[in-house]
Structure 1
Amino acid sequence: MWTLVVNCGSSSLKFALLDPSSGEVPLSGLAERLGSDLASVRVDRGGERVSVPLPGGSYPEAFGVLLAELDALGLRSEVGAVGHRVVHGGERFSAPALVTPEVLDAIRACVPLAPLHNPANLAGIEAAQEAFPGLPHVAVFDTAFHQTMPEVAYRYAVPEEWYTQHGVRRYGFHGTSHAYVAGEAARMLGRDFPDLNLVTAHLGNGCSVTAVQGGRSVDTSMGLTPLEGVVMGTRSGDVDPGLHDYLARQAGLSLTQITATLNRESGLLGLSGLTNDMRELEEAAARGHEGARLAVEIFVYRLAKSVAGMAVALGRLDGLVFTGGIGENSATVRGATLARLGLLGFKVDEAANARAVRGRAGIITTPDSVPALVVNTNEELMIARETQSVVAGEL
């Protein structure tokens, strides 16, 4: 039986039909600009790509296109379960969960922790349940993987009642990706997973770094929200919390305006004044654009500091994993980061690093180095596997 994986954003719906065992994907697609009259669905039928307009621009309409595609392939009756990416599960969920009314209520209770993401995730689940009423639906949480962090890693140095009454703590995100690439890295290194200490760096428009000890997250760079941590595409990463009060007084900005700017107009975009696309920044830096050069250098510097910090949580570092759009494709970022991490025993193999782009995974360090690897993430496959495990009663 096939597993359908659904990932709903505030104005998008990404889907993929997978075989959890083989990873085969006969159908995938992305509905964008939902909620507007410009909405459409890009569908990939095993290599054949088409675009379908969505005049109504709604989630149910997008699922209608998905159902029609499944019918055209004769696979609708072969779907055995639906797995849903849910961004925030708070402290309630440390593993995937079969969707029930109680689970939906718990996801709603986490909306204040992820006001931009959880409502869209809920809308997607409800639309999918209407489209596939007889199937089991499973929620897979970005935050669940990090629920193994010890208290010393997840607590903030703030009043106790902020944590006990309002849930103010570090949760972490990108958990599905970190879990998947850690497992793949163990396989590629030929190491026993329970005895392997890794730092995994998920680098895309959103970026996070995680310390993985024996397959368990013991620390991560993102916190209460996905804004904390390293520099990202449009997010600032770590800033002085006093910045909010300072800008409110000096610039007359509201808390909402400041937070929106830190999320949407900062990071690589804010530093460079050009773009949040690392490829474009590297090209501009090579042409002498000072803002682009600075953005790339700060990105690398903060990333290297975070990797070194995660090594503290592990005690022994057996490897570093690069993944995500930047991690899988920017030899420049990887090479510069490893150069700053020489004190941890990393020595880049320039030729191997240059080859590891456009889907080519592998080790990019010399034989006498602590290994650094490029691993292609596959969150959809991980969600499909976890969905299958829940349905089979294994989780």
Structure 2
Amino acid sequence: MKVIVINSGSSSIKYQLIDMPANIVLCSGMIDRIGLEISNLTYVTQTTKVEEALTIRDHKVGLEKIASLLMDEEIGVIKSTDEIEAVGHRVVHGGGSFSKTVIITEEVKVKIKQLFELAPLHNPANLEGIIVASTIFNQAKQVAVFDTAFHQTIPVIAHKYALPNYLLTENKIRLYGFHGTSHKYVSENAIHYLTQNSFSKDSKIITIHLGNGCSMTAIKNGKSVDHTLGFGPMNGLIMGTRSGDVDQSIIFYLVNTLGYSLEAVNTMLQKQSGMLGLTGYSDLRDIEANAENGNVDCQLALAMNAYRIKKYIGSYVAVLDGLDAIIFTAGIGENSSYIRKLVCTDMSYFGIELDEAKNELRSKEIREINTIDSKTKILVIPTNEEIEIANQVFELLMK
């Protein structure tokens, strides 16, 4: 079964065409920096690699470009869209409606749209991917895999807010958690790695997913028990354009005293804050480059970013009552030695000792970047949300 996985993020599209159940990747690639002046496209098959800098205005344009490459007469990997039996879509927020992978119907699309307000940077892009893919791969089953599913194991003590009870029972307001496919994939790989290296099967790990969106998960014995993102993918860590944690009273002050509308505050917190608000840049590569050239705002923003991550490591060590490993993953987590160094500095109390030479190495494989004497493993594990999504799609359709 050929499954194409489309992961439409807030500013990127990742895609893989996978032959299931063998997990053979026939084609993969991504487009990032969508909506900026110059976007980067990669398209990789077993014999071809295309890299191109071009303008990608939005996700629709991006998906159309990907489809044209897949069916290109010279470098394509399919001759007809009929070869694609299933399309797996990453959907960020399932709310109270979705706790497992589902075949997409018109009703499912409506419910995804109803959740736009809870994930305004993602669910619209996810739905756009579904709509466009439905026209391009019109003979394939369209399947949604929800980021919130992995976090259904978070206990009530952690997922319930200290609000009137009816808001949970009647309105389903609770911590849902996000980036679930990524946290699930890398945690399973980490646990396998640790057990092979003489660690107990009873594991206590923290996964740190750092991209344009960022989140951390406390995972005990393979199950998510706490997570930095909550009702929507907006709180917790400092992100590309999202603020992360703020004092709620700031919102009331902005509205009641400074005269901001609620819509303006929402736009500010979702699209104008985070690293963008602190530096004028949303892409960490730009921020690191300017920090190295002496930009004080960029230097401070990077320090604040790492400080927030360190605070959550400390709290999750308490939740887990110990720590076997921390895992860095996703675009920033896998590629930014700068951020990893900032996070792991002065963390010896938790047994976290970074090997700076190992930290500078690059690899597509799982790797340790801790010192030999470090009590806690520091692992860099490339995430593969697409493989995880393909597995879930195949399992659903084979039932």
Structure 2 length-normalised TM:
0.85
Instruction: Tell me if the contact between 2:13 and 2:59 (Cα under 8 Å) persists in the aligned partners.
Output: no
Structure 1 residues 179-223: Cα deviation after superposition (integer angstroms, max 9, x where no partner): 111122123333589622210000112110101122221110011
Relative distance call for 1:224 and 1:287 in structure 2 (3 A) is same
Distance 1:248 1:175 in 2: 33
- Partner of residue 347, structure 1: 353
Relative distance call for 1:294 and 1:9 in structure 2 (3 A) is closer
How far residue 32 of structure 1 moved from its aligned partner, in angstroms, is 8.3
Of the candidates 110, 126, 130, which is equivalent to residue 121 of structure 1? 126
- Partner of residue 216, structure 2: 209
Of the candidates 360, 366, 391, which is equivalent to residue 397 of structure 2? 391
Distance 2:123 2:184 in 1: 21
Give the secondary structure class of the aligned counterpart of 2:345: helix
Instruction: Tell me if the contact between 1:186 and 1:193 (Cα under 8 Å) persists in the aligned partners.
Output: no
How far residue 42 of structure 1 moved from its aligned partner, in angstroms, is 4.3
Give the secondary structure class of the aligned counterpart of 1:190: helix
Distance 1:68 1:246 in 2: 50
How far residue 122 of structure 1 moved from its aligned partner, in angstroms, is 2.9
Answering whether residue 317 of structure 2 is matched by residue 311 of structure 1, we say yes
Give the secondary structure class of the aligned counterpart of 1:3: strand
Identity %: 38
Instruction: Tell me if the contact between 2:324 and 2:376 (Cα under 8 Å) persists in the aligned partners.
Output: yes
- Partner of residue 48, structure 1: 49
Q: Which runs of 5+ in 2 are unaligned?
A: none
Structure 1 residues 215-249: Cα deviation after superposition (integer angstroms, max 9, x where no partner): 22111001111110011122211000000111223
Relative distance call for 1:121 and 1:303 in structure 2 (3 A) is same
How far residue 137 of structure 1 moved from its aligned partner, in angstroms, is 2.1
Relative distance call for 1:210 and 1:33 in structure 2 (3 A) is closer
How far residue 84 of structure 1 moved from its aligned partner, in angstroms, is 0.8
How far residue 141 of structure 1 moved from its aligned partner, in angstroms, is 0.6
- Partner of residue 115, structure 2: 110
Distance 1:61 1:351 in 2: 37
Answering whether residue 337 of structure 2 is matched by residue 331 of structure 1, we say yes
Instruction: Tell me if the contact between 1:154 and 1:170 (Cα under 8 Å) persists in the aligned partners.
Output: yes
Distance 1:143 1:246 in 2: 31
Residues 12-21 or 341-350, more deviating: 12-21
Of the candidates 166, 169, 173, which is equivalent to residue 171 of structure 2? 166
Residues 98-107 or 196-205, more deviating: 98-107
AA in 1 matched with 2:193: M
How far residue 136 of structure 1 moved from its aligned partner, in angstroms, is 2.3
Distance 1:64 1:345 in 2: 47
Structure 1 residues 275-333: Cα deviation after superposition (integer angstroms, max 9, x where no partner): 23333333433443322221111111110011111222222311100112221122222
Instruction: Tell me if the contact between 1:304 and 1:340 (Cα under 8 Å) persists in the aligned partners.
Output: no
Relative distance call for 1:54 and 1:291 in structure 2 (3 A) is closer
Distance 1:12 1:335 in 2: 26
Distance 1:269 1:68 in 2: 32
Instruction: Tell me if the contact between 1:13 and 1:59 (Cα under 8 Å) persists in the aligned partners.
Output: no
- Partner of residue 321, structure 1: 327
Answering whether residue 136 of structure 2 is matched by residue 135 of structure 1, we say no
Distance 1:289 1:39 in 2: 23
- Partner of residue 226, structure 1: 233
Relative distance call for 1:147 and 1:364 in structure 2 (3 A) is same
**Aligned-residue CA RMSD in angstroms?**
3.3
AA in 2 matched with 1:316: G
- Partner of residue 178, structure 1: 183
Answering whether residue 369 of structure 2 is matched by residue 372 of structure 1, we say no
Give the secondary structure class of the aligned counterpart of 2:268: helix
Q: What is the aligned residue count?
A: 389
Instruction: Tell me if the contact between 1:194 and 1:213 (Cα under 8 Å) persists in the aligned partners.
Output: no
Instruction: Tell me if the contact between 1:91 and 1:147 (Cα under 8 Å) persists in the aligned partners.
Output: no
| Superposition pairs of residues 239-258 of structure 1, within 5 angstroms | 239-258=246-265
Relative distance call for 1:348 and 1:27 in structure 2 (3 A) is closer
| Superposition pairs of residues 278-293 of structure 1, within 5 angstroms | 278-293=284-299
Distance 1:39 1:130 in 2: 27
Distance 2:38 2:290 in 1: 32
